[in-house]
């Protein structure tokens, strides 16, 4: 039996370059793994059994289950396993929780079943499970391109503190809805991501002023609740608020631990639950 952590991510930048011939969208993003995480416990079993602390994720559509089934199909495996997933990352929030769980499952089951699959093979399988999954095989800080399969590691920036808020937006097929709402005027040229990547490489830190998310105009237009929470964060003292991924999670980067917890308390007093994390 062993335990692995599946870390959430934020998008420090997210450029959407346009629609590809295969129907996906071409992106450029600087992704950053953060301390908020789910926990997966792996142990041997007679059959495949995935237990999850959140009953909404029970069943074969859970990405951990899909990752295990994919490994079975691709390796001809018949081994069983018991995987206990404890969720802490909010669902469908733009923080990559499901994708991180899937990557963690690939790595954990590769070790449990002694499959010996290398990084390139795991990355190929990860891309079949979801666009963000390849990033989570290594996590850290990375330039992500294509539809998510192109992952180039970046130097780890100076650690900092974050405050995250997840507005109560519950929309079926949220990411698809946002992509379908994009117009050519929402596409960007990738310059925001290039600037952020260059700043991290040269300065070794994240400049919050360089954060960017091309989804924001569309998301704030479709989901009015986002504006209420962003306004609450700014009024509580957040220096700058940015959407992560397709949302609805929003984050702000603050100077230190004390500032992070003070901001969280002010938000809670105003009825907005928030999470403190680091990267």
Question: Is 186 designated active site?
Answer: no
> How large is the C-alpha radius of gyration of the chain?
19
Quick: pLDDT tens for 146-183: 999 999 999 999 999 999 999 988 767 788 888 999 99
Residue 148 three-state SS: coil
* Dist CA 157 CA 126 (whole Å): 25
Multiple choice CATH, 2-153, 3.40.50.1000, 3.40.50.10860, 3.30.230.10, 3.20.20.450? 3.30.230.10
In this prediction, residues 239-244 reach a mean pLDDT of 97
**List 9, 15, 87, 174, catalytic entry:** 9
- pLDDT recorded at residue 245: 95
Tell me if domain 2-153 and domain 161-278 are identical in fold: no
How long is the chain? 279
In this prediction, residues 274-278 reach a mean pLDDT of 98
Say which residues have a Cβ less than 8 Å from residue 52's Cβ, sequence separation at least 6. 58, 62, 64, 84, 85, 86, 87
The answer to whether residue 60 scores a pLDDT higher than 90 is no
In this prediction, residues 82-107 reach a mean pLDDT of 97
Residue 160 three-state SS: coil
CA distances from 80 to 2, 45, 47, 61, 66 (A): 15, 5, 4, 18, 14
Tell me the domain boundaries of the chain: 2-153, 161-278
What single-letter DSSP state applies at residue 220? H
Q: What is the CATH number of domain 161-278?
A: 3.30.70.890
Diameter of the chain measured on Cα atoms: 56
In this prediction, residues 131-148 reach a mean pLDDT of 96
Residue with tokens 């949220």: 174
**List 15, 38, 101, 132, catalytic entry:** 132
Question: Is 54 designated active site?
Answer: no
pTM given for the model: 0.95
């Amino acid at each position: 039996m062993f335990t692995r952590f599946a870390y959430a991510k934020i998008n420090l930048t997210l450029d959407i370059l346009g629609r590809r011939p295969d129907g996906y969208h071409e992106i450029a993003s600087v992704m950053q793994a953060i301390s908020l995480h789910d926990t997966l416990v792996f142990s041997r079993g007679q059959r495949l059994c995935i237990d999850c602390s959140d009953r909404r994720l029970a069943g074969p559509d859970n990405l951990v289950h899909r990752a295990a089934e994919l490994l079975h199909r691709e390796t001809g495996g018949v081994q069983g396993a018991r995987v206990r997933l404890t969720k802490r990352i909010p669902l469908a929030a733009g923080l990559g929780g499901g994708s991180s769980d899937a990557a963690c499952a690939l790595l954990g089951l590769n070790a449990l079943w002694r499959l010996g699959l290398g990084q390139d093979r795991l990355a190929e399988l990860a891309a079949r499970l979801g666009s963000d999954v390849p990033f989570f095989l290594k996590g850290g800080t990375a330039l992500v391109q294509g539809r998510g399969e192109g992952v180039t590691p970046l130097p780890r920036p100076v650690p900092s503190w974050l405050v995250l808020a997840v507005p109560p937006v519950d929309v079926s097929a949220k990411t698809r809805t946002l992509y379908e709402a994009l117009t050519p005027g929402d596409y960007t040229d990738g310059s925001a991501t290039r600037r952020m990547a260059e700043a991290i490489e040269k300065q070794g830190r994240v400049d919050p002023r360089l954060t960017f998310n091309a989804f924001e105009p569309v998301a704030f237009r479709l989901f009015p609740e986002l504006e209420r929470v962003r306004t609450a964060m700014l009024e509580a003292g957040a220096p700058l608020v940015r959407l992560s991924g397709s949302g609805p999670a929003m984050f702000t980067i603050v100077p230190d631990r004390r500032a992070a917890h003070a901001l969280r308390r002010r938000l809670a007093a105003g009825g907005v639950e928030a999470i403190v994390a680091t990267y």
